[in-house]
Amino acid sequence: MNKTNFAINGVGRIGKNVLRRYIEGDYPNLNLVAVNFGASNIKSKLHLLKYDSLHGIFNSIDQIEEDKIIIKGKSIKIIKEHNLNNINWAQYNSDLILECTGKFNNKELSSIHIKQGAKKVIVSAPCKDADKTVVFGVNHNILFNNDKIISISSCTTNCLAPIAKILDDNLGIKSGFMTTIHSYTNDQRIIDGGHKDLRRSRAAALSMIPTSTGAAKSIGLIIPHLNGKLDGAAIRVPTPNVSMIDFSFISNKETSEQNINNIVKENANNNYKNIIDIVEEKLVSIDFNHSTSSAIFDINETKVVNKNFCRIVSWYDNEWAFSCRMLDVANFIAKL
């Protein structure tokens, strides 16, 4: 079977984790041919590819040359370009681009890759006017070969969507509200500094910071039946990785804590295997660092009041699990 050649554009937190996961994982339909590191700080970016404070040392790098990096004997072209209009993807024989910069989050901008010779683009963020928005394990089967710009939504939506789908299918969700207690990201400030969001301008490691999220509202793109039924908010907290969703909802059917736990556990072991994990021990966020699961359902936190008002908690590694799902979607597209 012919593999699909792909490239990674951007080596920030998601881009470099996608690269690492590709090397460490099993993606039989994919062949990585190039990575665009951007035009500046190449030495620093290559250093950070190997040494990562959250996910450990990447020991698979054999050799770094001026125009290529050799990882486990595989030669991958290094691109050093800031302007996408200067990249000819056909030159690198790359049909699929994993867009990981966080800067090309609408169809018009992402389509620059198509203009420059790529056939398809997967965006590691919500993308306005994308041909399709998918969460792997929930609705990725809606993808067709003629879809060119594909969004995999956000890390938080990837956690919420499979859980919400299960609960809605089995109990019915009348309405719901999600709060993500989210680790700080590099969009925030290590010390007070300018930001268009005044709260995000404050030192990330010193405060809990309320902010916005579109994760719950975007569920309607993944599960149309829930469109307009969910909303959400975010609180950024002083941890560097791993987040959790606290999701409260009103169910159509009467239920209990045990019933909800049984429903999710059954699905996690069947239709959502490798997407949802179950935790029965009383663990904390650091215990889920480097987890590959989109959602880690915490059965100790399930609560039900008056048989219809329900609350669940799921953990997620907002970097690593999301990077895994991006590659899962890419591997699926390569088969179409």
**What CATH code is carried by the domain that includes residue 165?**
3.30.360.10
In whole angstroms, give the CA distance from residue 208 to residue 303: 24
Residue 124 assigned to a binding site: yes
CATH number of the domain enclosing 108:
3.40.50.720
Residue 264 covered by a domain: yes
Tens digit of each residue's pLDDT (9 = 90 or more) over 129-156:
999 999 999 999 999 999 999 999 999 9
pLDDT in tens, 13-43: 999 999 999 999 999 999 999 999 999 899 9
Q: Are residues 173 and 283 in the same domain?
A: yes
The C-alpha atoms of residue 97 and residue 275 are separated, in whole angstroms, by 23
H-helix segments, 88-241: 107-115, 155-170, 219-222
Task: Confirm whether residue 14 is marked as ligand binding.
Answer: yes
Total domains, the chain: 2
**240/304 same-domain check:** yes
Is 157 annotated to bind ligand? no
Q: What is the mean pLDDT of the chain?
A: 97
Residue 312 lies in a domain: yes
Same domain assignment for residues 232 and 312? yes
Residue 205 confidence class, pLDDT cut points 50, 70, 90: very high
Short-list 146, 145, 154, CA closest to 127? 154
Give residue 206's pLDDT.
98
Separation CA 155–CA 113 (nearest Å): 23
Residue 156 annotated as binding?
Answer: yes
Q: Does 47 lie in the same domain as 191?
A: no
pLDDT in the model for residue 40: 87
| 34 in a structural domain | yes
168: in domain:
yes
Q: Is residue 111 part of a domain?
A: yes
325 known ligand binder = no
Q: Residues 166, 75: one domain? A: no
For 43-97, write each residue's pLDDT tens digit.
999 999 999 999 999 999 999 999 999 999 999 999 999 999 999 999 999 999 9
Judge whether 185 is annotated as a binding position. Answer: yes
Question: Is residue 37 domain-shared with residue 113, that is, in the same domain?
Answer: yes
> 């953990």: which residue's tokens?
315
What six digits make up the tokens of 61? 């790098």
Q: Which residues are catalytic?
A: 155
Same domain for 204 and 105: no
Has 40 been labeled as part of a binding site? no
Helix (H, G, I), strand (E, B) or coil at 97: strand
For residue 296, being part of any structural domain is answered with yes
Q: Show the domain range for 311.
A: 156-318
**pTM score > 0.95 for this model?**
yes
For residue range 163-204, what is the model confidence (pLDDT) as tens digits? 999 999 999 999 999 999 999 999 999 999 999 999 999 999
Q: Are 300 and 193 members of one domain?
A: yes
| H or E element in which residue 263 lies | helix 257-268
Residue 203 shares a structural domain with residue 82: no
100 is in an annotated binding site: no
Tell whether the model's pLDDT for residue 1 goes beyond 80: no
Q: Is residue 215 part of a domain?
A: yes
The Cα 323–Cα 8 span in angstroms is 12
68 and 191 fall within a common domain? no
Q: Is residue 325 part of a domain?
A: no
Name the domain boundary from 85, 113, 130.
130
Other beta carbons within 10 angstroms of residue 24's beta carbon come to 10
Residue 327 pLDDT more than 90? yes
pLDDT band at 104 (very low <50, low <70, confident <90, very high): very high
